[in-house]
Structure formats: structure tokens, C-alpha cells
Structure 1
């Protein structure tokens, strides 16, 4: 049986869509830290069937917009003295900047330097984002 102890102070990123945990782990650069981190993949979940979980034994500044963009169903638990101090349920952000890159070679962001890569939420139901400059749809492989 797999056993991962509770954390004393830190963050638990829960209800991550199965397979997305590594994406978040890499985005947060958790492979380069000097504190305890647990990435649990394909854990059983009554709600999701399978899910990933990340436990971080440290305080960490996290951009909730980015995590909400990657998976809007994530729950973030802030842990203090082994008790959940705060619980945050994420959602898809209406606008994101410099998280993904427009793939349209004719887009102004491909031609001009120093222009923010900005996308808006076009369809919340399917999580579709589009470039605010050229309306090019987002492709999941484009995370900056």
C-alpha cells in the first residue's frame, strides 16, 4: 500500500485531472526544489474516477489563473499545522496572458516583439481559448 504522510505546512493541489499532474509539476518547477514534494498519479477518486494530487511541504506563491487554465476543477488546500486553513476551488479564467503562445505565423505576436500573448475564454464548456489579436484557437501543446 502506498503511504504518503500528511504535510504540516504547505499546499495540496487536489482533484487534478489524471495525467495533468506532471504538467503542473513541471510548470511549478518542483523538480528543482529543496523541500518535500509528492506527486501522486492515477489515484482512485469517487468524484473523478482517477485523479492526480500534488503535496508540497512549503509555502509557495502559485498563480491560480494558470492552474485554473490547465484544469479548472482543481482544489487547492492551504495547510497550516496539519489542518486545512483555506480551500480554493479554481475555475477557468476569463483571460490569460503569457501562459500559451499563439501558433498563427501571421499573428502580430509572431511578428512584433514585446507583445503579450493574450487569450480570452471563448467557450467555457469545452475550455476553448482564442488569441485576442487574431482569434486563433488554443492548442493544448502550446503552454509557454
Structure 2
């Protein structure tokens, strides 16, 4: 299979196999008016299998959301057919409005419009906790 290279845009590489649609939805790529190539289960020497997203448009990507979904993703910004910048992600220290607190007694369940904010409590186990009630969210 051959997928053309892009001239100006973004390539999300090293997405864990099977997570490409979660990334697609989180970035709201269906709202873009450009070509988006979704490659699933691509052979990889490092990972065995991986997913790739190619976006034929340059736009602001929330790197914290990407890092939360899969911190192994690499983000390559393409300018004039060449990689202009490459970023390696990490788990973000805080996530805002990415997850919802599961605690029915949390203030975020009662107060409309209050941000759903979580902090990284344990990096190795990828555990986040609500800043209001300390309820645990595991990715």
C-alpha cells in the first residue's frame, strides 16, 4: 500500500495499534476540511504493529490530550515536504476536560461549567486524580 507524502501538515506516528480512532476523535479531525490518512496495524520494527495519522493541514494540536491518550506518539510537523520539527510526548502533569470525574459527590457533578481537572499522581501506573475530590482515574 502506498500513501502519498504530505507537503504541509502533521504526521502522528508510533500510535499504539488500535488507538488511532481514539486520537482521531479526541482531536476532532472530522471537523477539518482537509485530507486525513488513517493507517492501522502498520508493521514496525520497534512496536511490532502501530497506527499512523497523516493530516494534510497545519493546525494547533493539544499535545496534552495526545500525551494522555498515548505518550509514545511522535508528532512531526511537515513544511515543504520535509520534517520541520519533531516532538516526543510524555504524560502531561495536568489534563483539563479530557476525562470526567466518576465521583457523583464531586463538585464537578453539581456545578455546570466547572473544568474537569486532574493531576498526575503516579507516572509509572499512569494514575490521575481529580483536583477537587481526589478520585482516581487510570488510563
TM-score where L is the length of structure 1: 0.91
1:57-96 equivalence runs, <5 A: 57-96=56-95
Partner of 1:55: 54
Determine the structure 2 residue equivalent to 1:9: 8
Whole-Å separation in 1 of the counterparts to 2:96 and 2:108: 12
Deviation per residue, 1:47-99 (Å, 9 max, x gap):
11111100001111111111011111110000011110000001000011111
Inter-partner Cα distance in structure 1 for 2:103 and 2:89: 29
Residue matched to 1:133:
132
Using the TM superposition, give the Cα deviation of residue 139 of structure 1 relative to its aligned residue in structure 2, in angstroms: 4.9
Q: TM-score, normalised by structure 2?
A: 0.94
- Give the 3-state SS of the residue equivalent to 2:67 in structure 1: helix
CA deviations on 1:10-55 (whole Å, 9 max, x unpaired) are 0000111111110111122222332111010111111111111000
What residue in structure 1 maps to residue 18 of structure 2?
19
Is residue 44 from structure 1 mapped to residue 43 from structure 2 by the alignment?
Answer: yes
Number of residue pairs matched by the alignment: 139
Higher mean C-alpha displacement, 120-129 vs 54-63: 120-129
Report the counterpart of residue 108 of structure 2 in structure 1. 109
SS in 2 for 1:60: coil
